[in-house]
């Protein structure tokens, strides 16, 4: 948020690895506090306290919305107060895209598709993952109306263009490319699955040179479920929520980045589709494992320690188990017939 203090231009004068919405968000504490004191005198404690309070407010909104969306056992909404969820709400901003995405799903449930994709577009420009849900929405709408809703496509893209346009006006394409170039330049990080494979398998076999191919393969897998949406009959609210879990889960599992706060991305969806005590057990266990890894093990033993490698491997295995259970509970199979109907609908046939 240095740009708002210095009067400089985001992306052009001040580097940022994030899309546009977080850059606006980061400026809010400075702007609010500048009402009471000169902006250049705002210290890190004041800024952090206000920012954390803002994120807790979004957590409260998310819990309230989740409470309303749950058909029964509404107290499960308070699972968002589990240690890892609460910790990363207080220390990161991922609860904002989580709230926007959940609110978007709520509008899908009410068949307000245009407003749903407006929020999805804003969420996408907060953290890019909400874009994974767009083909899910489009497929769901197709099964409701038997035609492709091109208005949704136009509204989604227009929302993104509106959010990005100030960056283009002030810095051109070079400014727009900054966060994307930064992420594309990142290698395998810490204890992500690609990094674990490189460390445990490739390095001992002296075949680390294939890491690039591994990276491209995992990048494809991150987007695979979203791309396969038309092959499923996503015609119920629950199927939309479950396939969203799988799409976000794949993105997390196969990412070369280790970001435990991404738990917040799909935890609300897991809570929505939870039905049994076993479902709750998996949610609680996964949250506790994430919290034990970060911050507990990270702060005491280090992020590259053996304990961290073991614990994150267990967390990844548990997440894969959750995704397998979620798919089985959908009671669906990928079907070429579904895809054919969808793409013929796109052609107007």
- Given a cut of 90, whether residue 114 has pLDDT beyond it is yes
Three-class DSSP category at 13? coil
**pLDDT score, position 148:** 93
Q: Read off the pLDDT of residues 47-75 as tens digits, 9 standing for 90 and up.
A: 999 999 999 999 999 999 999 999 889 99
Q: Read off the pLDDT of residues 16-44 as tens digits, 9 standing for 90 and up.
A: 999 999 999 999 999 999 999 999 999 99
Q: Read off the pLDDT of each residue in 249-253 and give the average, rounded to a whole number.
A: 97
- Indicate the average pLDDT of the chain: 93
Long-range CB pairs of 227-232 (<8 Å, 24+ gap) are: 227/135, 228/334, 229/135, 229/136, 229/138, 229/139, 230/135, 230/139, 230/142, 230/338, 230/339, 230/342, 230/343, 231/334, 231/335, 231/336, 231/338, 231/339, 232/139, 232/330, 232/332, 232/334, 232/335, 232/338
Q: Using the Cα atoms of residue 252, residue 67, residue 322 and residue 304 in order, give the sign of their dihedral.
A: positive
Q: Read off the pLDDT of residues 296-316 as tens digits, 9 standing for 90 and up.
A: 999 999 888 889 989 999 999
- Given a cut of 80, whether residue 209 has pLDDT beyond it is no
């Amino acid at each position: 948020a240095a740009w708002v203090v210095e009067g400089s231009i985001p992306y052009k004068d001040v580097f940022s690895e994030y899309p546009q919405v977080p850059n606006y968000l980061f400026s809010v504490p400075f702007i609010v506090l500048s009402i009471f004191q000169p902006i250049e005198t705002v210290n890190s404690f004041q800024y952090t306290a206000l920012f954390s309070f803002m994120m807790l407010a979004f957590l409260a909104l998310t819990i309230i919305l989740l409470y309303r969306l749950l058909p029964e056992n509404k107290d499960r909404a308070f699972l968002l107060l589990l240690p890892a969820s609460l910790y990363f709400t207080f220390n990161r901003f991922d609860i904002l895209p989580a709230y926007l995405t959940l609110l978007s799903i709520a509008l899908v449930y009410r068949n307000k598709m245009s407003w749903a994709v407006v929020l999805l577009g804003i969420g996408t420009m907060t953290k890019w993952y909400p874009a994974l849900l767009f083909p899910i929405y489009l497929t769901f709408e197709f099964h409701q109306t038997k035609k492709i809703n091109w208005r949704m496509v136009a509204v989604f893209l227009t929302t993104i263009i509106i959010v990005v346009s100030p960056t283009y006006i002030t810095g051109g394409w070079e400014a727009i490319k900054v966060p994307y170039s930064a992420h594309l330049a990142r290698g395998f990080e810490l204890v992500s699955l690609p990094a674990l494979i490189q460390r445990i398998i490739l390095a001992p076999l002296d075949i680390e040179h294939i890491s690039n191919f591994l990276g491209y393969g995992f990048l494809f897998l991150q987007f695979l479920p979203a791309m396969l949406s038309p092959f499923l009959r996503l015609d119920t609210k629950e199927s939309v929520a479950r396939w969203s879990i799988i799409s976000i889960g794949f993105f997390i599992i196969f990412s070369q980045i280790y970001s435990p706060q991404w738990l917040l991305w799909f935890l609300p969806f897991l809570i929505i589709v939870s039905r049994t005590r076993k479902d709750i057990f998996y949610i609680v266990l996964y949250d506790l494992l994430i919290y034990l890894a970060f911050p507990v093990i990270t702060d005491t033993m280090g992020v590259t320690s053996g304990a961290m490698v073991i614990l994150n491997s267990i967390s990844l295995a548990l997440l894969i188990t959750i995704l397998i259970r979620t798919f089985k509970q959908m009671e669906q199979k990928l079907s070429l017939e579904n895809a054919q109907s969808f793409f013929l609908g796109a052609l107007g046939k």
